[in-house]
Amino acid sequence: MKRYVYINDDNLAKDIYCDNRISNRKYTILNFLPKNIWEQFSRFMNQYFLLIACLQLWSLITPVNPASTWGPLILIFAVSSSKEAWDDYNRYLSDKKANEKEIWILRQGIRKLIQAQDICIGNIVWLRENDEVPCDLVLLGTADPQGFCYVETAALDGETDLKTRSIPSACMGIDVDLLHKIKGVIECPSPNKDIRRFDANMRLFPPFLDNDIFPLTIKNTLLQSCYLRNTEWACGVAVYTGNQTKLGMCRGIAEPKLTAVDAMIDKLTGAIFVFQIVVVIVLGIAGNVFKDKEGRKLWYVQYPKEGPWYELLVIPLRFELLCSIMIPISIKVSLDLAKSLYAKFIDWDVEMVDPETGIRSNAANQAISEDLGQVEYILTDKTGTLTENKMIFKRCCISGRFYGNESGDALTDAQLLNAVSTGSADVILFLKVMAICNTVIPVRSKSGTISYKALSQDEEALVCAAARLRMVLENKNGNILGKECPWWLGNAKAGNFSSCQKEQMKLFFLLPVLIVSGQQVRTLAEAVEQYAQLGLRTLCLAWRKLEEDEYQEWTSMFKEANSTLVDRERRVAEVCQRLERDFEILGVAAIEDRLQEGVPETIEILRKAGINFWMLTGDKMSTAIQIALSCNFVSPEPKGQLLIIDGKTEDEVCRSLERVLLTTRITESESKQDVAFVVDGWALEIALKHYRKPFTELAILSRTAICCRVTPSQKAQLVELLKLGDYRTLAIGDGGNDVRMIQQADIGVGISGREGLQAARAADYSIGKFRFLKRLILVHGRYSYNRTAFLSQYSFYKSLLICFIQIFFSFISGISGTSLFNTVSLMAYNVFYTSVPVLFSVLDKDLSERTVMQHPQILFDCQSGRLLNPSTFAGWFGRSLFHAIVVFVITIHSYAFEKSEMEEVAMVAVSGCIWLQAFVVALETNSFTIFQHLAIWGNLVGFYAINWIVSSIPTSGMYTIMFRLCEQPSYWITMILIVATGMCPVLALKYLRYTYRPSRINILQQAECFHSSGIIEPKSRSSLEKDLPSDSVYEPLLSESPSATRRSVGPAQRSDSFQSQSPPDSTHTRKDN
């Protein structure tokens, strides 16, 4: 569909299009409650507890007051709703500020000041320097005589360098005093979120122009949230407003990511639910049988002889209500609070602040911190991620002559400087192309000095190098480029390059038609290869002289293609290709991009932690390999081996992939070498399309991959390939071309670099430098996983403990579904008594940060899920059952036969649970702080304080209970007996395991205990290394069992795409950790 915007006539658009009111709010005052309630109870767990709460309203079946479930449910709902309301209120304030900002518009020859929200389609908006653009505009005029202006688009796409925008050719020459009289129509697409494209046409009505059609592109627009810079004023007509601007269309809620821990918790919750149903059915049947055979004989029970039709459901439903607490109602809130704190720890980490720029790390996604500790594959960009993205012109080869090889810097090469001073024609033409074939914007300061703004750091390096060699780009007005040099003065026509054409500029040496001698071609190919081996970025420069007739013919074709609204980009590219032929090659430029500080060390440590690395880059293969070797991606020969997958046809790629896969299988089975494969974008496209299964197997077998000349879509495909194998992936990049990869990965990390903030804004986490990734994973990721594993399993433990006691009590209460505990105790148990201590586990550290960084191998336990899996959960399940038996048996034998009140027995049982859980938390805590002591032992004091208050209320049902119990020595003896009986076996098992079967963590903990410096004794270090087999150090883990067997690629998973057979000993099975 199309949109027609009538310039300077807002009356025609008021009833058709929306105004400029921005609204990012999720709710309104009227729909907040119903909408939020719907969202809250769209989750299965909340639906479950709502059903339980509704069943408790049936007085015939409820064993306790409904408040025991309704209270916590309403509290949790209130906490979640309050958070949503607060976030939405902040969005409202932000919208209000933007909507009420005052903006100048031109109306009937007068500049008027209105609020931004009152701008309508067709209004002419007047902007001054440093003003924010309030909506999407098509430029009509600027203060620049050539119709140019400069905009900062950082808020839109994260790119920090200035971009140039120009008025349409139809508006050139219109006096500023006549702008308010312009009439015309703009034919443009319906609102969309493509910020890189705007294919439209403009027709101005007489007397300005006689209805001629002029094409409009994104270069003629100012988009919402950009800022006008270095331009006194600019004006434009509003074409998209409000939430229909390109930025407004891009806004949206990102799809939530499910962590491996969350997935495991969901599975365990499902298992507990099935167990609960089985218990309810068994006890329901037993209760009905007991009632019919024994219960009706008991005169004091007063069962009716004949009950209603639903009588058989009463006892099962009572047990369902009693057992509903098996699934902890507070687990989601507890985990959300803990994860929020994990994210804050990342934000607050002063050791992850870039000292050069002051950029801090930031956790944009607060829900996936524990996944950082389970990363198995890291897929990284090269330029700006591993390197500094500070391009320096180092060497060049012009007309077969090398410059900079001896000195290492072409700019100081005496031969090149001499050629420049003598006016060598080849060198001068080479420098001309360097200076003008780019999108660099020269900016002249008040003092007269010239600085350059560029989207590409390569272009800026070339222009700066040309300027140092006396070929200075002074200005860029319209399609005219002004240059200053001693030998050539004048103007030259130039045009902008598309992204595709920019890539072709790097590939000119591959063109079939080059007007050079065979010897020169060999020399240039040799130069390209030599520079690539040095890790330099290479760019071939070529030129072609156009005749006037050919240029005029091409211009008319270009104008026609550029005026179409349908498939404009393809048609323009086809026209440009007619011009891009018969080039004469000039030479090769080589640019250095240095590695960031700490990159090799970071990669080496993370590889020791069992993480595999993939480099995905757009550079040529030899350059990528050289960078990979210097980054410790691949070990040098003979320890390391590089296998190359190449080919231009399906057969060639098939044979190459078969050979590499066969070699990898053999090498992996012998475990002798560090194998990596290299593939370029063309071969990768064929492999993913036709040989996906064998390529997937190769990806799993190889520790390292180097993918060259890959596109952004191919980067995302590779991430998806690994995710389909259930591997946890982390993608890291710094530019807009990395966004798709970052969003596709389980964890996206963006680097706030010189290419802007686009990747950082799209990522889950942003950091200032690549080296901070080491701390993000090993420290924050590992701690987050350990803490979440304990918190989630403890939440189930405390709920199962109280539930098992209820079940045991049913056997001495006629299996009738009667509750031992009163409403207050049950409600406070989950919300207050047991939640506060465990929340402070977010401060727990099993090992110091220094030890963790010194021994990255300990990340294996997190990768394999050893701390949270069905086996570890079974241990917590057994502990809750054992502790429930201890509490119930000791309590019953101590008080039930002493003619005590039932409330006294219940209070003794609750007290025993609270004491046991305090010691359980203390036992599982590795590092105590004052906050943890206050939480654990202060919680005990709080328990008694609350119950003393409740016991002093006559109508509470617990009147004087706690006072009487605390006065009895038998109560305190019972507590000591419960703690001793419940904790002694746990302590004994922990001691035996710690002493005779210590894990890696135990060994390091012992070392830290004996040596506060954290340095391991020789014996301990050797024990640790013995526990870490050398043949399995680097492979990723998957299994969720405590044994943590490695992921296997057995014969059944082998691809049948190849006819050749692998040797019998090449079957690959990943070994146990």
The DSSP annotation for 74-114 comes to: HHHHHHHHHHHHHHHHHHHHHHHHHHT-EEEEEETTEEEEE
Give yes or no for residue 387 having a pLDDT over 50.
Answer: yes
Residue 984 confidence (pLDDT)? 94
Residue type, 1052: A
Residue 671 confidence (pLDDT)? 64
**How many CB atoms sit inside 10 A of residue 700's CB?**
23
Residues 6+ apart with CB under 8 A from 548: none
Instruction: List 727's β-bridge partners, or say none.
Output: none
- Highest average pLDDT, of 383-387, 485-489, 908-912, 943-947, comes from 908-912
Quickly state the pLDDT bin for 976 (edges 50, 70, 90).
very high
Quickly state the pLDDT bin for 899 (edges 50, 70, 90).
low
Q: How many Å from the N-terminal Cα to the C-terminal Cα in the chain?
A: 59
Reduced to 3 states (helix: H, G, I; strand: E, B; else coil), residue 368 is coil
Quickly state the pLDDT bin for 756 (edges 50, 70, 90).
low
Beta strand 490-493 pairing with 612-616: unpaired
Quickly state the pLDDT bin for 743 (edges 50, 70, 90).
confident
**How many CB atoms sit inside 10 A of residue 1058's CB?**
18
Cα Dmax for the chain: 122
Quickly state the pLDDT bin for 507 (edges 50, 70, 90).
very low
Give yes or no for residue 296 having a pLDDT over 70.
Answer: no
Q: How far apart are CA 994 and CA 996, in angstroms?
A: 6
- Alpha-carbon torsion (1027, 1029, 1034, 1039), positive or negative: negative
Q: How far is CA 124 from the centre of its chain?
A: 40
Residue 932 confidence (pLDDT)? 85
Q: Which residues of 797-834 are buried (b: 16+ CB within 10 A; e: fewer)?
A: bbbbbbbbbbbbbbeeebbbbbbbbbbbbbbbbbbebb
Phi-psi region of 671 (alpha: psi -120 to 50; beta: other; left: phi over 0): left
Residue 1041 confidence (pLDDT)? 38
Residue 494 confidence (pLDDT)? 37
Residue 158 confidence (pLDDT)? 60
Integer CA distances (angstroms), 775 to 42, 186, 574, 781, 787, in order: 37, 53, 49, 8, 17
- Highest average pLDDT, of 255-259, 300-304, 349-353, comes from 349-353
Across all residues in the chain, what is the average pLDDT? 81
- Alpha-carbon torsion (483, 485, 490, 493), positive or negative: negative
Q: Which of 572-581, 742-751, 992-1001 has the lowest mean pLDDT?
A: 572-581
Instruction: List 757's β-bridge partners, or say none.
Output: none
Residue 912 confidence (pLDDT)? 94
Residues 6+ apart with CB under 8 A from 874: none
Instruction: Give the residue with greater pLDDT, 439 vs 428.
Output: 428
Reduced to 3 states (helix: H, G, I; strand: E, B; else coil), residue 725 is coil
Structure tokens at 416: 């090149």
DSSP code of 360? Answer: P
pLDDT one-digit tens code per residue, 137-160: 999 999 888 788 888 887 776 666
Instruction: Give the residue with greater pLDDT, 895 vs 652.
Output: 652
Verify whether residue 381 is a known catalytic residue.
yes
Q: How far apart are CA 164 and CA 749, in angstroms?
A: 30
Phi-psi region of 587 (alpha: psi -120 to 50; beta: other; left: phi over 0): left
Q: How far apart are CA 428 and CA 410, in angstroms?
A: 15
Give yes or no for residue 1012 having a pLDDT over 90.
Answer: no
Reduced to 3 states (helix: H, G, I; strand: E, B; else coil), residue 161 is coil
Instruction: List 753's β-bridge partners, or say none.
Output: 756
Quickly state the pLDDT bin for 504 (edges 50, 70, 90).
very low
Q: What average pLDDT does the segment 893-921 reach?
A: 85
Query: Which residue out of 381, 674, 738, 746 is catalytically annotated?
Result: 381
Quickly state the pLDDT bin for 754 (edges 50, 70, 90).
low
- Alpha-carbon torsion (806, 810, 813, 817), positive or negative: positive
Reduced to 3 states (helix: H, G, I; strand: E, B; else coil), residue 551 is helix
Quickly state the pLDDT bin for 253 (edges 50, 70, 90).
low
Give yes or no for residue 794 having a pLDDT over 50.
Answer: yes
Residue type, 1071: K
pLDDT one-digit tens code per residue, 303-349: 666 666 667 788 888 888 888 888 887 788 888 889 989 999 999 99
Smallest CA-to-CA distance from 66 within 344, 321, 303, 418 is with 321
Packing angle, helices 32-40 and 67-99, rounded to 10: 130
Q: How far apart are CA 1007 and CA 918, in angstroms?
A: 27
Describe the strand order of the beta sheet including 102-107 as a list of residue ranges: 110-115, 102-107, 124-128, 233-240, 136-142, 221-222
Q: Where are the beta strands (DSSP E) in 173-280?
A: 184-189, 200-204, 213-216, 221-222, 227-229, 233-240
Residue type, 770: F
DSSP string for 472-496: EEEEEETTEEEEE-SS--EEEE--P
Helices (H), 844-901: 849-854, 860-863, 870-895
Q: What average pLDDT does the segment 494-521 reach?
A: 40
Smallest CA-to-CA distance from 877 within 865, 888, 869, 866 is with 869
Q: How far apart are CA 329 and CA 838, in angstroms?
A: 15
Quickly state the pLDDT bin for 1007 (edges 50, 70, 90).
confident
Give yes or no for residue 727 having a pLDDT over 50.
Answer: yes
Reduced to 3 states (helix: H, G, I; strand: E, B; else coil), residue 296 is helix
Q: How far apart are CA 427 and CA 417, in angstroms?
A: 10
Residue type, 297: K
Q: What average pLDDT does the segment 632-648 reach?
A: 79
Give yes or no for residue 909 having a pLDDT over 90.
Answer: yes
Smallest CA-to-CA distance from 664 within 638, 692, 685, 694 is with 694
Packing angle, helices 621-630 and 518-533, rounded to 10: 20
Q: Which of 387-391, 858-862, 911-915 has the lowest mean pLDDT?
A: 387-391
Give the whole-number percent of the chain exceeding pLDDT 70.
84
Structure tokens at 640: 């390391």
Q: Which residues of 78-91 are buried (b: 16+ CB within 10 A; e: fewer)?
A: eebbeebeeebeee
Residue 487 confidence (pLDDT)? 36
Give the whole-number percent of the chain exceeding pLDDT 90.
25
Residue located via tokens 């059609």: 213
Q: How far apart are CA 532 and CA 534, in angstroms?
A: 5
pLDDT one-digit tens code per residue, 351-365: 999 888 888 999 988
Question: What's the pTM?
Answer: 0.78
Residue 3 confidence (pLDDT)? 86
Give yes or no for residue 735 having a pLDDT over 90.
Answer: no
- Alpha-carbon torsion (274, 278, 281, 284), positive or negative: negative
pLDDT one-digit tens code per residue, 688-723: 988 999 999 998 888 889 998 888 888 999 999 999
Q: How far apart are CA 745 and CA 764, in angstroms?
A: 10
Give yes or no for residue 444 having a pLDDT over 90.
Answer: no
Q: Which of 366-370, 592-596, 609-613, 758-762 has the lowest mean pLDDT?
A: 758-762
pLDDT one-digit tens code per residue, 78-91: 887 888 888 888 88
Q: What average pLDDT does the segment 406-429 reach?
A: 89
Residue 1071 confidence (pLDDT)? 35
pLDDT one-digit tens code per residue, 6-44: 888 767 667 678 888 888 788 888 888 888 888 877 777
- Structural contact between residues 588 and 528, judged by C-beta atoms closer than 8 angstroms: yes
pLDDT one-digit tens code per residue, 169-208: 888 878 888 887 888 899 888 888 888 888 888 888 877 6
Q: How far apart are CA 415 and CA 393, in angstroms?
A: 16
Structure tokens at 282: 């068994």
Residue 222 confidence (pLDDT)? 93
Residue type, 567: D
Residue 27 confidence (pLDDT)? 85
